[in-house]
Chains A and B, each alone.
Chain A
Amino acid sequence: MVRYIANKLLFMLISLFILISATFFLMKAIPGSPLTSEKQVPPAIQERLEEQLGLDKPVYQQYFKYLGDVVQGDFGISMKKINQDVSNIIGQTFSASLKLGLVAIVVAVIVGVLLGMLAALYHRKLIDNVAMVLAVLGIAVPSFVVASLLQYVFSSQLHWLPTMGFKGPMYYVLPVAALTAQPIAFIARLTRSSMLEVLHADYIKTAKAKGLSWLAILWRHVIRNGIMPVITYVGPMTANIVTGSVVIEQIFGIGGIGKQFVEAISTRDYPVIMGITIFYGILLMLARFLTDIAYMIVDPRVKVNKGKEG
């Protein structure tokens, strides 16, 4: 087990290293420097700027310096946000993203599992059909469409909820709804099919034969086993929510990392793009790593060498 974890950890680090290197060299490959601007700066000053940003050194030197800094948690200084550390920018904006993301994950799991369970228990009944139609819609409609729709109905027409900002509980409702539509759909489907499988399993019949009350069976066996596969989905879901939040933060004006990321991409703020990419990378890899471990603990049947999610 320890070996398994150590192994996973090692490979995670290698992946991270590849990501950092790829990010660095891809950013270097872009034509036009971050200093290019419409109204031209005199050459003398251009040179001085390049020197300040270390852009005059050979690429490999910049690379090793960057690697070294990253290891120490230093992503450099933003090129557009003057005198702001990238790690500072990430730190200051992460809290909004984290709050939004955590709420979204919790909501997605609870709603998704409930929906899936209902569907499974009332298999082929109206509830099942409704739940599955919802689930399928959630998968089929792009999140930015859902977001605009919600914004229109609930703030523009009904005036129930604020359009933008992130100042209190009411501000969570719409972004979380838009963000979780897809994960809820996935979780509901996942829960439904695995619950159906469990409901057909022999041990349920045995339990029933032993005269256990239906509620007890449901609680002790069906739910516990039925939602197990949901754990495997936590990794991909985190990825889903992180990328989703890039869009959602934009639409709802939430000052999270996603918004900074889009902004950095459009202003070609290399250090910020690299910093956020690496940060996201670490986050998602950690999520996946924890998922693997959690699943191994919950379900000892998982062979130590496998356990990839489809």
Chain B
Amino acid sequence: MEHNPIQVMPTPVDLKPEDFRKIGTDEKEAEVIQRESISAWRDAWQRLCSNKMSMVALSVLALIILAAIVGPWISKWVHGYNYYSNDLMNTNQKPSGAHWFGTDDLGRDMWVRTWMGARISLIVGLAAACIDLLIGVIYGGIMGYFGGKVDEIMNKFSEILYAIPYLLVTILLLVVMEPSLGTIILALTITGWINMSWIVRGEIMQLKNREFVLASRSMGAGSGRLLFKHLLPNAVGPIIVTVTLSVPNAIFSEAFLSFLGLGVQAPIASLGSMINDALTGWLYYPWRMLFPAAVISLTMLAFNIFGDGLRDALDPKLKK
């Protein structure tokens, strides 16, 4: 990582002589700006690229998403399998050429089901994150931009909602509504947007008194224009980070709900419901649990690491 210009310094504990290097006293060089001037975005992108873990995570994510999209098709094309057709003569088969990930207790192909499950889990995660984003940005934007009484009332309201334990509400809602993809996403977002709204609010409050905003305002820009053209684009960093980190949360919550039997309707499966189905006999049919568990764990990992990397890249505090 020697080439990394923004590398965090080693801890003072182990500073050794070789950690220091002469930068020379050439007067000409001293006048040169040490870092070339680059836009904030490129800067962040470069920093992200130099973070190997993040890049690996990003690649893993891309692969998983790709597999979730084309995986089922490949199998359909090669073997003619789909995620719902039973084959009772071939239940609980080990992974083989005919069934790359083996089969489940109804003889369904695990390769197709795993990637269909990944698709569902990702849809749940991404959709929940997007809805959180939408509501959170609007709500938070209004709070932050208008401030004062509006902010106070809206903020109190969100605080009250936030105090109600998230999973309790989700469970209650799903107990009442029939579990389906839509209701699960809805239940997951019912209080999920609040965090996002606070992030947006905080950012906007910081930004709105900055010079460029004042300039724009003094030139007669309206509220909407200010908010959407100037404030939000500048708050995009933390927003992206929050979204990235909220996707795995939603995926995990869905898995938890599957365990309680409040997940998606069969024969559709999510990764969580597949793991849950496999739990009782997984010692004997480990592939039924391991593949979905591996995919869900990798997805969680990748989102978390990538989100962390993104935060590091976008957080100017670390840019020492």
Contact = CB atoms under 8 A, between A and B. Distances in A.
Interface of A: 11-12, 14-15, 18-19, 22-23, 26-27, 29-30, 121, 123-124, 136-137, 139-142, 144-145, 148, 152, 156, 196, 199-200, 204-205, 208, 214, 239, 242-243, 246-247, 262, 265-266, 273, 277, 280-281, 284-285, 288, 308, 310
B87 interface: no
B175 A239 contact: no
Nearest to B289: A145
Contacts of A27: 172, 176
Contact of B304 (A18, A124, A139, A199): A139
Contact of B293 (A136, A141, A288): A141
Contact of A29 (B165, B176, B279): B176
A230 B101 CA distance: 41
A171 B239 CA distance: 44
B163 A137 contact: no
B293 A145 contact: yes
Contact of B168 (A121, A124, A144, A277): A277
B12 A18 contact: no
B226 interface: no
Contacts of B43: none
A140 B168 contact: no
Interface residues of B, number: 47
A156 B159 CA distance: 46
A22 B159 CA distance: 16
Interface in B1-33: 8-13
Given A23-B172, A142-B252, A136 B304 contact: yes
- 10 closest Cβ pairs, A-B complex: A15-B163, A140-B300, A140-B297, A140-B301, A284-B165, A15-B160, A243-B167, A26-B176, A19-B164, A142-B255
Contact of A26 (B173, B199, B260): B173
B interface majority secondary structure: helix
Nearest to A28: B176
A22 B169 contact: yes
Interface string B190-204: 000001001100000
A266 B261 contact: yes
Interface of B: 8-13, 156, 159-169, 171-173, 175-176, 195, 198-199, 252, 255-256, 259-261, 272, 275-276, 279, 282-283, 289, 293, 296-298, 300-301, 304-305
Contacts of B282: 148
Nearest to B167: A243
Contacts of B300: 139-140
Contacts of B297: 137, 140-141
Given A246-B260, A247-B259, A199 B12 contact: yes
A250 to B, nearest CB: 8
B156 A11 contact: yes
B175 A265 contact: yes
